[in-house]
Structure 1
Amino acid sequence: MYSFQNDYSEGMQPAILRALETINYHQNHSYGQDIHSDAARDYIQEALEDFSVDIHFIAGGTLTNLTFISHILKPFEAVISAETGHINTHETGAIEATGHKVCPVLTKNGKLTPDLIRPVLDMHENEHWVDPRLVYVSNPTEVGTVYTKEELEDLYAFCKRHDLYFYIDGARLAAALAAKEETHLTFPDLPKLCDAFYIGGTKVGAMFGEALVLVNENFKERFRFNMKQKGAILAKGWFLGVQFEELFKNNLYIEAGAHSIAMMKPIKEAFEKAGIPLLCEAPTNQIFPIFPNALADEINKKYLTTFQCKPDKDHTCLRFCTSWATNENAVKDFVEDFEEMCNRLL
């Protein structure tokens, strides 16, 4: 069965695999203070056109989020997130376990706006409540939608006016940047749009790893102390450095995001042709089509997908996700199979 469950089922980019093999017997300094991690930081700073940011390599997204959030917030401070936000749904209460409440906000499309955040601030009016201090967004969101540059500018301006920090989870940032026609985003924009963000490697063909970028000067001091306490510093940290070296050579990072989107396009077109609605409009490598139950069951006999929700008793919403390594022939086969299923069942 071919899998459209996620964008991290395959191993790693061939360039990363070759690089790791090449340096396998080289001796390196430990704990991320090696020549490969330094080179990767240089590559990322060049892409961002900002050499003032601090960059830390961390093994995974949940560990990145909890290490960062626990570092910047005081014990009585909280983080605002869309209800669908990763820290609120798929991190096993990791943020709460560090002592910080997540304040979830119901959205129609997974995206926060100033108007949605304002009531949370109004509600938490004094010391009898937690004090919301950080706004967390994912770009793309967990339902495949994207924030435009203009929307991020509005959010960041709102945060600054209300003395809030603004943090972007970039687990699938490559897809947001590759969808430039919709987002108008480039790498150099990012340090101007938030206090911190991370560049996801796991979902673009790294074996593992994310690059946390600290923009706000107040976050930088003694950050590695918190990393060590949270188990976020790898002894063999050069494995992270090598991977980000390769991802940021020759535009591989953006190419990976672009490939995942290109592989989704024929699938999305097939759903549109069959009149299958989407949970919300999504221009990246994740879409959430809503099928009649019988069609969803038929798809899942031959292809792996992820169950999202039951909009009603007669329909099932599934997540389809393509990756940096999705095979073009597999996509063609799925489209042909899907058309045959529709002819039989619709």
Structure 2
Amino acid sequence: MYHFRNDYSEGAHPRVLEALIRTNLESTAGYGEDAYCAAAAAAIRTRFGCPSAAVHFLVGGTQTNFTAISAFLRPWEAAVAADTGHIAVHETGAVEARGHKVITVPHQNGKVTPQALREVCREHDAGNPGHMVLPKLLYLSDSTELGTVYTKGELEALHRLCRQLNLYLYLDGARLAAALTCKENDLTPEDLPRLCDAFTMGGTKNGLLFGECLVITNPALMPNFRFALKQGGGMLAKGRLLGVQFGALLEDDLWLALGRRENQLAARLTQGLQAKGYAFYAQSPTNQVFPILTKTQIQSLQTDFTFELTAPVDESRDAVRFVTSWATPDEAVEALLQAL
């Protein structure tokens, strides 16, 4: 059986696992106040060029998103996201369960456009304040749920509009390594702190056993965040496990090497499918590939391959999602292409 369901089914990259084993019997302070978390946070500030940023480590992506967003917003304030956005679809209403509405706008290739953001904010400020929630935070993901990426120009335009509209810009980087290493990307890690009030660097989908890093660059959002971290269940008693893992991931830019590897595998798959004449539901330059297959093909593939159904296309065809990871063997991609 070959696995293309997601990019987090395997364990940890060997260098990450070795770091955990090497430090296993050490006794350290808890709750992220150990030397390993401090060193990893310093490495992140250096790598992203944000020496004054607040850095926090959490276990999972949903937990990170709802903890951060609920801490940043007042009770009457809302987040704006693409209608495909992770917080709007695949987080079981976690942000809304904390009391904050998620306002969705139609996506364009998985992305939020300035026009859509401006329009939804206008609709919620129709001269009758106090009767609707107030948009206050723009949620983006890079790469998006359709595998697409924001260009520097697109992110700069959204940043400028957020400043005009008095919104925070929050970027979910669960697959940030894949985004930054794909051929269509022109953003650098150093661009994110100047364009985002807060962003995340994902580890769960990029070589860690578990772990997400939240980087807060807006000083107004930094005070008292550890209270929100604890209240949201994000303050891990054995926090050093996160620091050790992120330290290993950042060493020699391993995180980017892993993103590059999974993108290369996805590109091989995409090129092979294109050569065979397949159409695609989304044009993804990253590690998520969305071909359109017949229902008969899908049923046949499920014997030897795992993958996700994305959306129906017509009565006889569906779009599916194949995801490559840093651990996907070359032979799996070749076997899938042969099966198709």
TM tier, smaller = over 0.9
Q: Deviations over 1:292-343 (max 9, x none)?
A: 22222222222111011101111111000000111112212222222xxxxx
Instruction: Tell me, yes or no, if structure 1 residue 301 matches structure 2 residue 303.
Output: yes
Q: Deviations over 1:120-147 (max 9, x none)?
A: 1111122110001000010000011111
Give the whole-Å Cα distance in 1 for the aligned partners of 2:37 and 2:9.
25
Question: Residues 146-161 of structure 1: matches in 2 within 5 Å?
Answer: 146-161=149-164
Among 211, 214, 217, the alignment partner of 1:215 is 217
Give the whole-Å Cα distance in 2 for the aligned partners of 1:73 and 1:32.
24
Give the whole-Å Cα distance in 1 for the aligned partners of 2:201 and 2:156.
19
Q: CA deviation at 1:173?
A: 0.2
Q: Aligned partner of 2:119: which letter? A: P
Among 138, 160, 168, the alignment partner of 1:165 is 168
Question: Residues 56-205 of structure 1: matches in 2 within 5 Å?
Answer: 56-125=56-125, 126-179=129-182, 181-205=183-207
Aligned to 1:233: 235
Give the whole-Å Cα distance in 1 for the aligned partners of 2:24 and 2:156.
43
Question: Residues 29-68 of structure 1: matches in 2 within 5 Å?
Answer: 29-68=29-68
Q: CA deviation at 1:187?
A: 1.0
Give the whole-Å Cα distance in 2 for the aligned partners of 1:337 and 1:113.
38
Aligned residues of 1:54 and 1:220 also touching (Cα < 8 A): yes
**How high is the TM-score relative to the length of structure 1?**
0.96
Q: Deviations over 1:22-70 (max 9, x none)?
A: 1111111110010100110111111112211110001110000011011
Q: Secondary structure at the match of 1:56?
A: strand
Give the whole-Å Cα distance in 2 for the aligned partners of 1:78 and 1:330.
43
In percent, how many aligned pairs have the same letter? 44
Extract unaligned runs of 5+ from structure 1.
Answer: 339-346
Instruction: Tell me, yes or no, if structure 1 residue 224 matches structure 2 residue 219.
Output: no
Give the whole-Å Cα distance in 2 for the aligned partners of 1:296 and 1:274.
16
The aligned length equals 337
Aligned to 1:326: 328
Aligned to 1:343: none
Question: Residues 254-333 of structure 1: matches in 2 within 5 Å?
Answer: 254-333=256-335
Aligned residues of 2:50 and 2:217 also touching (Cα < 8 A): no
Give the whole-Å Cα distance in 1 for the aligned partners of 2:34 and 2:111.
38
**How high is the TM-score relative to the length of structure 2?**
0.97
Q: Deviations over 1:136-187 (max 9, x none)?
A: 01000001111111111110111001111100000000001111x4120111
> What is the alpha-carbon root mean square deviation over aligned residues?
0.9
Q: CA deviation at 1:224?
A: 0.2
Extract unaligned runs of 5+ from structure 2.
Answer: none
Q: CA deviation at 1:206?
A: 0.5
Q: CA deviation at 1:285?
A: 0.1
Aligned residues of 1:266 and 1:335 also touching (Cα < 8 A): no
Q: CA deviation at 1:189?
A: 1.0
Q: Aligned partner of 1:243: which letter? A: Q
Aligned to 2:16: 16
Give the whole-Å Cα distance in 1 for the aligned partners of 2:294 and 2:50.
49
Q: CA deviation at 1:7?
A: 0.1
